[in-house]
Amino acid sequence: MSALVSTTGLWSNDKAVGLTTHTRHRHGPSPISLHFTAPNATPSLIFGPMALAAAVARTATTREARPRLLTGLQKSALAQLECLISDDPVFELSADFNDLADTERTLFAARVGAGITDLYMNALGYVWRANAACLSRTLDPHADFIYDGGNADGHGVVLAEAHGSFAAKATAKSVAAQAKRKYARQVKPYLAKTSPYGQVVHGYSIAFGSKPGTAGAFLSLAETRIPKPGKKSPPPPALQAPTGTGATPTMIALATHRSNFLLMGASQVVDWIDWVRASGELPADRAPVTFLRFGYAGRWYLGSPSYVWPLFPRWWPDMYWDDPALWDWIEHNTLARRPRGGPPTGWFVMEETACVSFLDALSGMIRDGGERRPERLELPTFDPIGFGAGGDDRVLDAEHPDYDYALFRDGLALIDAPFRWTGRHIRRWLPKEGFERQA
């Protein structure tokens, strides 16, 4: 399984899409969780090619399916991004889009709509994600994703329904109508319901659309209305305050990182996550998992060594990786193989503290035989880079303008080929013991 993502045909300009409509829908009781307040809607969304590519892959793999199928979905989802979006500052579909069959256009629009939804939810402050299929055991329509973190911490989870439309009749009005219709049908019925990740306390329906052959896009948001308390409203009982500690609920952290480590190419970690969640037979491969540690844009990241060398031998001793001659060979024979002047090849990696914190916690669950899981985990979160709310100076990394990457709140990042990386080392994670100590 590879952590490599081909982005050689992606556009190079960042896109800015304004929120064209925002509607709020009543629900009783409101708020569902006392003291919960929804974050203010982001009036515009800015994103680069790395960010959208990563978000499409994240949403394509956030579901309960075997790793081999999810890897196939990831590759097929990203392949279309390479040639179907133009390289203009304003969002516009390329001329190649017209050559797709109707079903292929619908699928591509749905995938981009899901990616835009993930970017928007991160921009609102939400961190952790899971598939919302757990809400219904029947074919009844339901929202696409569940999110936690941010304003939802300690209250429960929020729903997000995604919709994409690249139709000849797409307008601001039609996209807004889709957002409202999807909210009423696939979000509202599940408000205040219980999921494996917590009570649903809020809901969103996000619709994204663009008319082929024209520049510009439409972004519409429908969400649960929470009325502001009146001046004469009695103060809420203190005992009903949220009980969250700022830590992450374990079940949604496991769901999030199952997708993340699959994208990174760490299939052994995915197997251990599945075992912890469902027990059963131990994974067949119980060997240590090797990560390449490197510095990039002022942070330390961990990634799969198979990216820099597809024939990476897991049995190599550490001293081989300290040989400068080896890296000279790798950089000239592996990393340098990309079209001259073309956009980079992307690599899914994870910020080091996020990776170590989660995997050490996973080791503790493995040592307990997978039978006892803590309710919450202490995991770091990050401000997103490479996308975010319009006007937010943190959207782009001003200190490292030459680095092309997208960092999400949970620590997952998609970076370009690491030609400017520093301090390359090897770190190994032992499933039962955790990370080996660094020398």
What pLDDT shows up at residue 43? Answer: 95
Question: So what's the pLDDT on residue 246?
Answer: 62
C-beta neighbour count of 184 within 10 angstroms = 13
- C-beta separation of 203 from 221 below 8 A: no
- Predicted local distance difference test score (pLDDT) of residue 310: 59
State the DSSP H helix or E strand holding residue 421, giving kind and residue range, or none if neither: none
Q: Is the pTM of this model over 0.95?
A: no
- pLDDT score for 328: 67
Can you tell me the mean pLDDT for 410-436? 83
Alpha-carbon distances, residue 359 vs 40, 135, 433 (angstroms) = 33, 28, 10
| 3-state per-residue secondary structure call for 330-362 | HHHHHHCCCCCCCCCCEEEEEEHHHHHHHHHHH
435 or 88: which leads in pLDDT: 435
Specify which of 59-63, 295-299, 377-381 reaches the highest per-range mean pLDDT.
377-381
- Token pair in block for residue 76: 């097929």
Q: What is the pLDDT of residue 240?
A: 37
Is the per-residue pLDDT at 74 higher than 90?
no
Per-residue pLDDT reduced to its tens digit, 36-47 = 999 999 999 999
DSSP symbols for 147-173: EESGGGTTT-EEEEEEEEE--TT--HH
DSSP line for 23-46:
EEE--SSSSSSTT--PPPPPSEEE
6 pLDDT higher than 50: no
- DSSP code string of 283-340: PS--SPEEEEEEEETTEEEEE-TTTT-TT--TT--HHHHT-HHHHHHHIIIIIT-S-T
Give me the pLDDT at residue 140, please.
78
- Alpha carbon distance 12, 68 (integer Å): 30
Query: How many angstroms separate the CA atoms of 413 and 350, rounded?
Result: 6
Whether 181 shows a pLDDT value over 90: the answer reads yes
Q: What was the pLDDT predicted at 164? A: 96
Unique residue bearing structure tokens 């952790």: 128
Neighbours of 223 (CB within 10 A): 23
pLDDT band for 390, please (50, 70, 90 cuts).
confident
Please indicate whether residue 244 or residue 132 has the higher confidence score (pLDDT).
132
Q: How confident is the model at residue 439 (pLDDT cuts 50, 70, 90)?
A: low
- pLDDT over threshold 80, residue 377: yes
pLDDT at 242: 40
Kindly report, residue by residue over 294-351, the tens digit of the pLDDT.
Answer: 899 999 999 987 766 655 555 555 555 556 666 666 666 655 444 433 334 578 999 9
Phi first, then psi, for residue 107 (nearest 5°) are -65, -45
Output the pLDDT for position 79.
64
Q: If you average pLDDT over residues 5-22, what whole number do you get?
A: 76
Phi, psi of 221 (to 5 degrees): -125, 130
Of 74-83, 180-189, 295-304, 396-405, give the lowest mean pLDDT range.
Answer: 74-83
Strand (E) positions, 51-151?
128-131, 145-148
Q: What is the mean pLDDT of residues 24-30?
A: 91
pLDDT at 382 over 90: yes
The model's pLDDT over 235-291, given as tens digits with 9 standing for 90+, comes to 444 333 344 446 899 999 999 999 999 999 898 999 999 999 986 788 988 889 989
Band of residue 119 on the pLDDT scale cut at 50, 70, 90: very high
Determine the residue type at 123.
A
Q: What is the rounded average pLDDT for all residues in the chain?
A: 84
